[in-house]
Structure 1
């Protein structure tokens, strides 16, 4: 007779495997379809393995797929997404970490009010402020530019990132700041020389969250980017509604979708252990 502990463990593993398979099914379908040719993708079941798998659909999606009248693929938009993500993430992490340090360790007047406003900002749907932002950027002459898109991503990412940094910095010894202030260090000297070198784990966590959010964004890129800085997500959406022959190229669409989703997936796979380490850092105090 099996022990209750063994039965419980088997049940737990069964649940975890079933959950993993459930979430993996769409990714498997996308990958298998991207390896088929046009006739297979149209005629066969989505669960049927490709007869002659190849990566021609990926090459076509990257180099020659038609997005509207532009038949140069999504490859050029990849670098747009890279530039947008790097700029927005870098600025967000810098400002959020400074905000978190100030709110957690600098005894600012009104810090509670600022924290409450950040909490409100973190949970207010950003869709309701898109129109005012469009009007503001239009008046300022920067609507549908890289600057506008980066500003929007930074604004919407700051509340949650600031809260993350603040919560981590609350666990640092206050004596570090007090000793530095006794030695005559200024706010930014303490931040750059004392706090920032101790922030690697939380920077990794916040960076992964920011990169994933910025890279996967569609709505903000559609509204604020303009034609010159259109990210990959917007291009993929346009690609799936465009057909040069009148026949939907499902295999190319799936390949483009997979290529777009690959960068944040690889980022997490290669930095997953650091992400977990950063999330759990400071969770247990000695």
Structure 2
């Protein structure tokens, strides 16, 4: 006899819960919705109408201007150059910090040595050091290395600051991998790097997704390091967006400002839409050992 699935009853409590969740979602999405609506409005309609109203006529001219010709201070070349500046250092910084974190987690979990716990605790302190505390020593370090005010310097800064977080993610995930896998590989003659490359990394898919999403979001949205360790045409899009919004020359075009804000947020929104469900899966994958 076929089994029939029992559907949960839609009682008042469940309906109230769904209604509350829906309200929270709509409330959370309201700022983004307002920016999107007003970024496709004509400036005259924006000044004379309601910010929460639907646009009467849709125009993408504010987006084109924000990308190509909006003024960010004394230059009026739009955000396109700064957008690619961010891409040029965010992608390498994410990949390098994730790889180093994976290697550190592997060593601290499966090749334990005297003082490994103390080293791990020291790395964890890096998660609690505020950005402001490292500005001066990091500036001095970049000067000594000869990479101040450069893309390489921004990559170095974000890799160094991100290692503590990436190590924490990978180490907590790797403790869930059965020790027997590594022991069997050692018996078969596999060495340190072979085990890492052929056994550990192929099992690291969920936590790699978590780390990449975390690092990409943190680095792309960073403003402080960008404004301190870069200048002029080398600045990231977050700094350029701030300069665009605060530019006081000419008519204040709020639709262009909102279009620029959405452009700056699009990469992180895209990452979360595409891989957001894997972020939660990756976090919970390392929650239970066994």
After TM superposition, the score normalised by the length of structure 2 is 0.92
What is the total number of aligned residue pairs between the two structures?
283
- 2:45 matched to 1:40? yes
Give the SS at the match of 1:208: helix
Q: 1:276, CA displacement in angstroms?
A: 2.6
For the residues of structure 1 that align with 2:89 and 2:289, how far apart are their CA atoms? 38
Asked if the contact 2:67/2:78 (under 8 Å) is kept, the reply is yes
Asked if the contact 1:243/1:249 (under 8 Å) is kept, the reply is no
* Match in the other structure for 1:140: 145
- 2:282 matched to 1:278? yes
Q: Deviations over 1:222-251 (max 9, x none)?
A: 111232421111111000111442x21100
User: What is the root-mean-square deviation in Å for CA atoms of aligned residues?
Assistant: 1.8
Asked if the contact 1:85/1:215 (under 8 Å) is kept, the reply is yes
Question: Unpaired segments of 5 or more residues in structure 2?
Answer: 1-7
Give the SS at the match of 1:73: coil
* Match in the other structure for 2:15: 10
* Match in the other structure for 1:173: 178
* Match in the other structure for 2:263: 259
Shift >3 Å, 4+ stretches: 282-286
* Match in the other structure for 1:227: 232
For the residues of structure 2 that align with 1:4 and 1:237, how far apart are their CA atoms? 51
After TM superposition, the score normalised by the length of structure 1 is 0.93
For the residues of structure 2 that align with 1:232 and 1:139, how far apart are their CA atoms? 26
43-52 vs 18-27, which deviates more? 43-52
Give the SS at the match of 2:232: coil
For the residues of structure 2 that align with 1:4 and 1:30, how far apart are their CA atoms? 39
Asked if the contact 2:82/2:237 (under 8 Å) is kept, the reply is yes
Question: Unpaired segments of 5 or more residues in structure 1?
Answer: none
18-27 vs 180-189, which deviates more? 180-189
Map 1:63-82; keep pairs closer than 5 Å.
63-82=68-87
60-69 vs 4-13, which deviates more? 4-13
